[in-house]
Structure 1
Amino acid sequence: MTTSTQDAFYTGHYRNCFKELGYSEQEIAARLEQAWSDLLTGDEDVRIYYPVGDDKGYFLDTGNLDVRTEGMSYGMMMAVQMDDQEVFDRLWTFAKTYMQHTEGRYKDYFAWHCKPDGTRISQGPAPDGEEFFAMALFFASARWGDGPAPYDYADQARIILRACLHQGEDGEGDPMWDHETRLIKFIPESPFSDPSYHLPHFYELFALQADEQDRPFWREAAAASRAYLQTACHPVTGLSPEYANYDGTPAEPQRHGDFRHFFSDAYRTAANIGLDWEWFRADPWQVEQSNRLQQFFRPIDVEDYRRYTIDGQPFDEPSLHPVGLLATNAMASLAADGPDAEHFVRLFWDTPLRKGVRRYYDNCLYFFSLLALSGRFRIYLPREEA
């Protein structure tokens, strides 16, 4: 596999890793369209999208039978990449109607999960949802144009980002970013982070489109997140914990579990690093990191994926989402230049969408990897920024 020398942001060129390995444009496009169709309207043991009434829809977490800001914002990002405005608007209308707070300490944040009928299960937000909502809305604005509220996409994105940075300045609530370190928090009230939440490639774009006074913060956040990931990822295995302190060390066990290890949340870190390299190529460490991670997983069969300490010691506990982990290992090939990059792309190509109860998270990561490795996970900017 070859890598281009310049980033997609400046060149407008996106690598198609599948094409580099000999797959045709026609079969790649067909694979992407079929996967999107399967997620939306496929068999009941594959689909994760469900329309509601005339104007709403949701992505269902099939393992927990709830609707999460993670999946809703992921679905919106998938929809804008696939140029599917109807699905995008349905997801956004559901999230806006049932999940976004209109007052109180969480005003303009989103309750992180609810029932399929819109009843909130928890009031608190999860910041990975807010950052994906905002980026998807900016892309929608650039790709389709803004309409009347709530489809004034760019304004809606700015409302979310404004809350993310300034919540609590009136004395009620907390921001989603730690202002001292410029790092995203696990939840607004927490004094630690989640490495898989770090999306410096999004923050670079927020710095172009957020409120003018906040743009320097987003540029600093991008640099801070890239530096943070170097401390959170193990220098030999490349594995990162699910939760980590602001210095990158694994966070102490929480009331709801022990998240010091490499498990479900942490899979996304490799994908985020790969996409950041594809879009901006700002940190050569990302190449070394992606090689390390792939080298660790190369001898392990997908069916043998497990929970691991970040120094690579396996637990008896198997991975809940082996297909999702394979997908992110493959997406690391956007940055990796080692001998394992081709192996993971081919293995991913030969792996179908997951079926069954646990399919939701796996197939979200799967579809993002399919987009990215086909050169179709793209930046959309308003003309004056492009």
Structure 2
Amino acid sequence: MSRAARQAVTAVAVVVLVVAALVLVRAVRSGDDVTSTPADPTTTAADGTSAAQYFLDTYVDADGRVVRRDQGDDTVSEGQAYAMLVAVGSDDEDTFDAVWSWTQAHLLRSQDGLLSWHWSGGEVVDASSASDADLDAARALVLAGQKWGDDSLTRAGVDLGTAILDHETVSTPAGLVLVAGQWATSSSPYWFNPSYVSPAAMQVLYAASGDSRWTSLEAGSNAAVRAATVDGQLTPDWATIDDQGNASPSASPSGAAAVFSYDAARTLVRNAESCSSDDTAITAALAAILGTSGEAYGTYSLDAQPQTSDLSALTAVAQAAGAAVTGDDATAEAKLAEARSIVAQGSTYYGAAWAALGSIMLTTDALGGCPPLADDASSSATTSPTPTPTESATASVSSADA
């Protein structure tokens, strides 16, 4: 065959491949059934890229709904917020836009700007808000707006944050406290979930908005976390707190026993990524009780005795957080790998989400925190509770007040 003929054949082959790729992309974006293989969570790099892709591929539908496939195919505001954070952390703008669009269309409450927490069977089945989801979503929106240069996303994040401050907090002598949701503000003692408190999110939202209530909320909420944690014991999934800031472990609103489980383990991760050494000290203290090298069980009594033989990817991430803030990077990395392995052995929506989030939060600054496993982490944590708001944030707040 002549050179000209070979070049012609090659050109035709390239055109065919390009057309095929365009057809595949169009099919995926239109929601057609295109068979694909999700990323393998066990091959995740240190920055959590593959774990993030696995979660998004496995649990996010084409329209942006995050589906709890292991829990009846329902959707919760928490999952939408997790996907938004993972999308920002992995620089996936298309997925972020889809997830936020679905969230706005189906969960955004017109009366106060918060999110309904539970959607199933084509409709909202419980319109109550969940403050952890609202806080995570607000953080994700602000970061997305900054990352992709979209002021409307930043404004949406600041607005959602303002709704949190207005409707999901109570006042104590130590400052504002983030309670479980708008439904939990009616009378003292208030329902308080220590793992809902995200200092890094509060720091991001203060910097974006300039609203000083965020500094009060961080101080008051972490005082409540400490108050709810009995000396020598683990933080409970749930607690109650009164107007004077007195807190104590409690059964959950549904009546489940006071334990350290799939809620409370998040407390270690959320405080580990904070830019305040006061917050990372909470993680270090809890890690000393939980341990960082043993099995990662799903449920413990408050005195750290395992209550199940089931393994939890989140607990492994919590152990990684504890190891990271105490300078044991090798154990921290091993525990992040263990979390991914647990997901690979039996994937759940929640485990996959935290395997992804844990890697992003602890090893990268993509979500605005001070990750303890980042290269410059040794100098990132300070005693300052929050960063100074930017000039653009101050202007944004002023225009909103006007």
TM-score between the two structures when normalised by the length of structure 2 = 0.71
Q: Give the one of 129, 134, 137 matched to 2:138.
A: 134
Query: Aligned-pair distance for 1:227?
Result: 2.3
1:344, CA displacement in angstroms?
A: 4.0
Residues 323 and 331, structure 2, Cα contact 8 Å, conserved in 1: no
Bigger Cα displacement from structure 2, 289-298 vs 261-270: 289-298
Query: What residue number does 1:346 align with?
Result: 334
Report deviation, 1:384: 4.8
In structure 1, the residue matched to 2:157 is: 157
| Structure 1 unaligned blocks of 5 or more | 1-26, 42-46, 167-174
Q: Distance in 2 between matches of 1:326 and 1:79?
A: 22
1:308 is aligned to: 300
- Mapping 1:272-287, distance limit 5 Å: 272-276=270-274, 280-283=275-278, 286-287=280-281
Q: Quick one: which of 19, 39, 43 aligns to 2:55?
A: 39
Give the CA deviation at 1:61: 5.2
Does the aligned pair in 2 maintain the 1:273–1:332 contact within 8 Å?
Answer: no
Query: By how many angstroms is 1:368 displaced?
Result: 1.3
Map 1:166-177 to 2 at 5 A.
166=166, 175-177=167-169
Matching residue of 2:60: 49
CA distance in 1, matches of 2:346, 2:125: 20
Tell me: CA distance 1:345–1:30, structure 2 relative to 1, closer, same or farther (3 Å): closer
Residue 68 to residue 182, structure 1, CA distance change in 2 (3 Å): same
> Does the 8 Å CA contact 1:234/1:311 hold for their aligned counterparts?
no
Aligned to 2:312: 322
Deviations 1:199-258 (A, max 9, x none): 122212222223x5xx12111111222322222334324x1111112233112453x222
Q: Which residue does 1:185 correspond to in 2? A: 179
Question: Structure 1 or 2: larger helix share?
Answer: 2
Match of 2:149 in 1: 145
- How many residue pairs match? The answer is 321
Counterpart contact for 2:179–2:192, Cα < 8 Å: yes
3-state DSSP of counterpart to 1:373:
helix
Rounded Cα–Cα distance in structure 2 between residues aligned with 1:205 and 1:176? 18
Counterpart selection for 2:129 from 125, 131, 135: 125
Q: Quote the residue 1:258 is aligned against.
A: 256
For residues 248 and 318 of structure 1, what CA distance do their matches in structure 2 show?
30
Aligned-pair distance for 1:51? 1.0
* Pair 274,298 (structure 1): closer, same or farther in 2 beyond 3 Å: closer
Matched, 1:366 2:351: no
Correspondent of 1:332 among 322, 325, 345:
322
* SS of aligned partner of 2:264: helix
Instruction: Map residues 15-30 of structure 1 onto 2, 5 A cutoff.
Output: 29=45
- The CA RMSD over aligned residues, in Å, is 2.8
Q: Which amino acid aligns with 1:258?
A: A
Q: What are the residue-to-residue correspondences of 1:217-296 with 2, within 5 Å?
A: 217-237=213-233, 239-246=234-241, 247-252=246-251, 254=253, 256-276=254-274, 280-283=275-278, 286-287=280-281, 289-290=283-284, 292-294=286-288, 296=290
Identical positions, percent: 19
TM-fit CA distance, 1:99: 0.8
After superposition, the C-alpha distances for 1:3-49 in whole angstroms (9 at most, x for unaligned) are: xxxxxxxxxxxxxxxxxxxxxxxx975873322332233xxxxx222
* Cα distance, 1:360 vs structure 2: 0.8
Q: Give yes or no for contact 2:47–2:364 (8 Å, CA) kept in 1.
A: no
Helix, strand or coil for the counterpart of 2:313? Answer: helix
- Say whether the 8 Å CA contact 2:51–2:355 is kept in structure 1: no
Q: 1:24 aligns to what? A: none
Please report how far the alpha carbon of residue 334 of structure 1 lies from its aligned counterpart in structure 2 after TM superposition. Answer: 3.3
1:143 positional shift: 0.7
Q: Which has the larger radius of gyration?
A: 2
The aligned counterpart of 1:10 is: none
Deviations along 1:44-87, whole A, 9 cap, x unmatched?
A: xxx222212xxx44343532421111111011011111111100
Q: Secondary structure at the match of 1:120?
A: strand
* Distance (Å, rounded) in 2 between the aligned partners of 1:345 and 1:153: 33
One-letter identity of the residue aligned with 1:203: M
Structure-2 separation of matches of 1:270 and 1:57: 28
**8 A contact 1:195–1:243 mirrored in 2:** yes
Q: Matches of 1:259 and 1:65 in 2, distance apart?
A: 26
Check conservation: 1:141, 1:382, Cα contact below 8 A.
no
